[in-house]
Amino acid sequence: MNLNLSSILHLQPPSYERKKHYEFGRDLGTGTYGTVKKARALDTGNDVAVKIILKKTVKGHEDMVEKEIGVLKNLSHPNIVNFLDWFESRDKYYLVFDLASGGELFDRICEKGAFTENNAATIMKEVIEAIEYLHSKNVVHRDLKPENLLYKDETEDSKLMIVDFGISKTMESEDQVLTTMCGSYGYAAPEVLLRRGHGKPVDMWSIGIITYTLLCGYAPFQAENDQQLVAEIARCNVVFHQRYWKDVSVEARDFIKCLLRAHPEKRLTATEALQHKWITTETGNNADLLDNVKEGFNAKRMFKKTIRAVAAANRLRTMTRTNTEMTNSDAGSLASSLATPEIQQQQQQEQQQAQQAEAVVPVTAEKS
């Protein structure tokens, strides 16, 4: 059969044939590289989540998608989202996963009638067990944050799932040093921000940030601007404010401090964290922390933080492009590199958006 030019131009990659096995539905979320849609697998009738990545957004870095697929195909753990299939069109990649329909971690907590320290320890144990499994496979997630912790379903005993392996990395050896600027602002470890090279300990830093936030509703480092925030993170001066931490045990605070250490080699590993007293025994107080958590994590603050997170993510990408030869020796030198005219303009725009957010009716933030 002879093909005319029009037919040739409309040819799809061979794997595109598999798209017909799915019936696509509503959007579940929108991120930097595309969207996540709900779909139904026609052969099983099961609902799935399809991550759709625009090829133009990863142009020149197509191997990033291939690596994500390579990582996911070799993983099998009850607390890690299950990868099912993939295919591509001329302009998109499609990655198919089990649907985690139970909602984000913090949203689920805020819907509860009560939330205690022991509840928090149980949650973090699930997360750390999954990270221990990843690290045993030499996989570093590199983007742990509450938005990437989703419940599998809406049942009371639903499993908590780690999702989004878009910037995860399989290390070739235990001592390999990763150098890519990665992670989410507020959860990235000091060695990432300072470009000193990183590895598995970056995930444990993120777990420390998540645990702190889980117990009080706000992040441990909240400086007024980027320069101060980077310096504050580098110092690792963790403060437990009396008003919000008076009902939290010494063991919980020690667990957090053992994770939020400036030197990666001094942080607890995943295996060591699972052996910490706060995780292994119910040492926590039975006080209900829910009111404090809700106060610190209400919808309006989430909306404002989402605005700031988008601007901050843009700044991190700017740093990656413009500071590829940067070899910072301390937080001060990094802070100086951040204060470019472009970033100062972004900060001004961010402040204007935050002021506008004050007058906005609270909304539920989309997953980023």
Structure tokens at 48: 């799935």
Active site residue 143: yes
Secondary structure in 3-state letters for 63-94 = HHHHHHHHHHHCCCCCCECCEEEEEECCCEEE
Choose, from 43, 63, 143, 164, the residue flagged as catalytic: 143
Note the residue count of the chain. Answer: 368
Query: Which residues are bridge partners to 52 per DSSP?
Result: 35, 94
55 is in an annotated binding site: yes
Q: How far is CA 296 from the centre of its chain?
A: 19
- The answer to whether the CB of 194 falls within 8 A of the CB of 234 is yes
Q: If you compute the radius of gyration of the chain from its CA atoms, what whole number of angstroms results?
A: 21
How far apart are the C-alpha atoms of 228 and 211, rounded to whole Å?
Answer: 22
* C-alpha distances out from residue 12 to 16, 91, 93, 152, 321, Å: 6, 9, 12, 33, 33
How far apart are the C-alpha atoms of 282 and 122, rounded to whole Å?
Answer: 9
Phi, psi of 83 (to 5 degrees): -85, 130
* C-alpha distances out from residue 11 to 5, 15, 60, 62, 342, Å: 10, 12, 22, 20, 42
Burial class for 85, CB neighbours closer than 10 Å (0-12, 13-18, 19+): middle
The amino acid that residue 292 corresponds to is N
How far apart are the C-alpha atoms of 53 and 34, rounded to whole Å?
Answer: 5
SS3 assignment, position 161: strand
Find, among 67, 91, 66, 71, the residue nearest to 83 by Cα: 71
The amino acid that residue 188 corresponds to is A
Q: Which residues are annotated as a binding site for ATP?
A: 55
Q: Which residues are annotated as a binding site?
A: 55
Q: Annotated active-site positions, please?
A: 143
